[in-house]
């Protein structure tokens, strides 16, 4: 089942040592940015922030393109070209959101990048159905958030997943982001969480886009998961009719 809205998201932990000063690495910049993006980087007030915003937007778009194609393309970062069209500040939350478009060949992916202290969260989407409702729900958290649903060790978290779900889990962050996304989707759709699974098809770790099952069947929904350093992030979309069907009678 192909969802009407296709999502990608990416998290960048700006407090990781590798993040600082990377815009000065001209070989890296030349490898990952297109010419027009490099020109924007040279004009940026904060080159590192600009670089990682572009990086996150490209990573989110790559996930969208991979789902549309059914297999990931060769990830040449400079083939994903980003153009910004607006910036919105949210001073009460100490956040800033940039919006734009990433183009890869004929594919256009709408992107937004949220920046708040220590983290970037990029979300990209495109829609297959012209009349699709593209309302997307996003979530962002830290592994050390006190009282969060994922505030436990990996062994305990794994017990909250079916074997099929657990097959795609490779770390504490991988488990945490799936748990956060599953709970958020259950609340969004108004269904019991035990009816949902976020699973992946067989393949190589990192090349297995997640998808949603409702009562064991592929559902009209899409999900994207990301984690970096201490941060986890997800993006969700579900069809307006998602969850309206009653659970199967197992009596």
What is the mean pLDDT for each group of 10 consecutive residues in the chain (251 residues)?
89 93 95 96 94 97 92 86 81 75 95 94 87 84 94 96 95 97 95 96 78 95 96 95 67 51
Q: How far apart are CA 169 and CA 125, in angstroms?
A: 24
pLDDT of residue 134: 80
pLDDT of residue 65: 94
pTM beyond cutoff 0.85: yes
Instruction: Name the DSSP letter for residue 40.
Output: H
> Domains (ranges, CATH) in the chain?
1-134 (3.90.470.20), 141-251 (3.90.470)
Decide: 226 and 210 in contact? Cβ < 8 Å: no
Decide: 81 and 65 in contact? Cβ < 8 Å: no
pLDDT of residue 95: 79
Nearest to 238 by CA among 64, 3, 2: 3
């Amino acid at each position: 089942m192909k969802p009407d809205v296709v999502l990608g998201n990416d998290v960048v932990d700006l407090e990781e040592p590798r993040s600082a000063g990377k815009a000065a690495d001209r070989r890296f910049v030349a490898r990952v940015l297109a010419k027009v993006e490099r020109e924007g980087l040279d004009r940026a007030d904060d080159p590192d922030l600009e670089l990682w915003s572009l990086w996150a937007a490209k990573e989110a778009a790559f996930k969208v393109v991979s789902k549309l194609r059914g297999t990931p393309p060769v990830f040449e970062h400079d083939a994903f070209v980003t153009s910004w069209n607006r910036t919105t500040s949210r001073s009460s939350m100490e956040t800033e959101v940039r919006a734009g478009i990433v183009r890869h060949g004929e594919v256009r992916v709408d992107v937004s990048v949220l920046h708040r202290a220590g983290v970037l969260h990029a979300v990209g989407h495109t829609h297959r159905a012209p009349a699709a409702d593209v309302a997307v729900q996003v979530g962002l958290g830290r592994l050390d958030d006190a009282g969060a649903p994922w505030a436990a060790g990996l062994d305990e978290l794994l017990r909250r997943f079916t074997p099929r779900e657990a097959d795609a889990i490779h770390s504490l962050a991988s488990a945490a982001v799936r748990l956060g996304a599953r709970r958020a989707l259950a609340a969004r759709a108004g269904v019991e969480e035990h009816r949902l699974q976020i699973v992946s098809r067989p393949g190589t770790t990192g090349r297995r886009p997640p998808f949603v099952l409702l009562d064991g069947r592929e559902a009209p929904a899409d999900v994207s998961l990301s984690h970096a350093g201490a941060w986890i992030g997800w993006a969700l979309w579900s069809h307006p009719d998602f969850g309206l069907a009653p659970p199967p009678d197992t009596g």
